Chains A and B, each alone.
Chain A
């Protein structure tokens, strides 16, 4: 099976988001970056498991600048065979990113294209669906289980308050949620081998912007907490009803 895992780079989860003075941008001073957790923990690992069971190859793809190579190398250290970086140096929107991925993937005819269910930075959860539309293949969002039997797939996806089980044939695209696989920590051998694995850099194709972020804001800080005596829960209920008006 020929598998593609699309990964993105996001600020590390403990990052306190700071804005530039006018809110025009995110202040990236001192920000540490990681591979987007859904991409690393679930999408990549499930792809590797399928390859281990049935043979084939796992390629990592990232759309971004050369700075992203550290994140790509981590994916190779975890076990991917090779990687592609589409060399985009500016911040671009989801549709632009999806077009780059689709342009590349179309020529390669992958059996399954994996995504994370969203990035923890822009929380878009749309790149996978976009790529699926450009490639004209089925798309299953928020998959928590994926079993393969030849070209036949059985996927479980999370829906509000439950789940749905779907059968389909390759090729298709899915986005990966918790449950799909267990996080793998790269070992020393993997890290050494990753240095020698091929990382191909491809120039982007030109497409127009469809959206632009004009401004960022931070949520209002909470005022100081009102402490309620642990013996007086009637008071808490009264406040929730009369002051907060939530019950």
Chain B
């Protein structure tokens, strides 16, 4: 059985949770087995995970799960997997998944693939999972050699599809959990914008913007598109923008449907983190900027003129 840890954020399932259930169902199909979902803590809509391919949902509630603690969550997932006889465990490659994927692998002595971006395949008799390496400069096909296998799935890697019916039965699990040894004293999330790793549309600015006071043209376009903003490394290093907006090889690696880069030259370290985006638009006044070689669409021009024009064009299109 494939067991998917579907994470609820503030009691709600977001796109990432649906993605991993779809991923788990497709993995189960490859193996000719079932896909079950695991829910930790309180959440509304657990029975709805059936729509994305879970044939059963297991829920574990405990006061020890109220705040995130990697060690406690690891015990919860590992013990659930043992109890239910799971041979593959699937989770999101987000901050939660990254905190527990390695712990799970150590606890279960299981092979793991962190950050997979494709459905597993049976190849040369081995269960094989593909993941980006060198921040997207290459892909590796990783064979998992252990009986129990762990996969964390990178966001935006597979489309969310309806693969079944809602109204799945939710069965309560009974597992004794240890007390957390960490105490979360503050949990702060900006509301409104989709966080960068999950964003489908991204507008990004580089040094060509000249200074933080000029970011209005980037934000206006992002606002019109419903996109998330990002930036190049020197921009974050100069504190023009918050560091969580820094994309590239030493920042966040993203794969949105649309990446619009304005005033970014396209250095190899920048491209490494963004070149798996589905469509790339580059706006640069220098026709020889290296980024144009990695772009689908290019606009040679002054971003301070082009971005407002593009924002108007988007508004016009949306108004129709």
Contact = CB atoms under 8 A, between A and B. Distances in A.
Binding between chains A and B: yes
Contact of B106 (A16, A98, A230): A98
Interface stretch (B22-30, B58-66, B160-168, B241-249): B241-249
Contact of B105 (A128, A130, A238): A130
A128 B70 CA distance: 12
B243 to A, nearest CB: 5
Contact of B144 (A144, A210, A229): A210
Contact of B182 (A13, A37, A140): A140
B9 to A, nearest CB: 8
B135 A120 contact: yes
A14 B258 contact: no
Interface string A154-175: 1001111111111111001000
B142 to A, nearest CB: 5
Interface in B230-279: 236, 243-244, 246, 249-251, 253, 257-258, 268-269, 272, 275-276, 278-279
A141 B73 CA distance: 14
A118 to B, nearest CB: 8
Nearest to A11: B134
Interface string A113-152: 0000000111111111111111010111110100000000
Given A98-B102, A121-B134, A212 B139 contact: no
Name the interface size band of chain B: 35 or more
Nearest to B155: A160
For B74, B106, B111, B141, the residue with the greatest tally of chain A CB atoms inside 10 Å of its CB is: B106
A118 B316 CA distance: 42
B138 A17 contact: yes
Given A124-B115, A129-B99, A164-B186, A134 B181 contact: no
A178 B70 contact: no
Contacts of B225: 247
Contact of A216 (B139, B251, B292): B139
A209 interface: yes
A236 B310 contact: yes
Contact of A142 (B98, B107, B182): B98
Contacts of B128: 214
B172 interface: no
A129 B114 CA distance: 12
A162 B190 contact: yes
Nearest to B192: A161
B258 A246 contact: yes
A52 to B, nearest CB: 23
A211 B181 contact: no
Determine which residue in A126, A130, A136, A138 has the highest number of CB atoms from chain B within 10 A of its CB, and name it: A126
Interface stretch (B36-44, B204-212, B293-301): B293-301
B187 A126 contact: no
A225 B296 contact: yes
Given A98-B102, A129-B106, A237-B314, A120 B249 contact: yes
B298 A225 contact: yes
A139 B99 contact: yes
Contacts of B124: 214
Contact of B139 (A136, A139, A178, A219): A219
Contacts of B250: 13, 37-38, 120, 178
Nearest to A235: B313
Contacts of A240: 258, 279, 281, 297
A164 B302 CA distance: 39
B155 to A, nearest CB: 9
B220 interface: no
Interface string B166-207: 000000000000000111111111100111111011000000
| The 3 nearest A-B residue pairs measured at CB | A129-B102, A230-B301, A126-B102
24 contacts: A13-B268, A14-B269, A16-B268, A26-B138, A120-B135, A123-B132, A141-B70, A157-B95, A167-B185, A214-B123, A214-B128, A214-B141, A214-B143, A216-B133, A219-B137, A219-B138, A222-B280, A222-B293, A225-B298, A228-B298, A236-B281, A240-B281, A244-B296, A247-B314
Interface of A: 11, 13-17, 19, 26, 37-38, 93-95, 98, 120-134, 136, 138-142, 144, 154, 157-169, 172, 178-179, 209-219, 222-223, 225-231, 233-234, 236-241, 244, 246-247
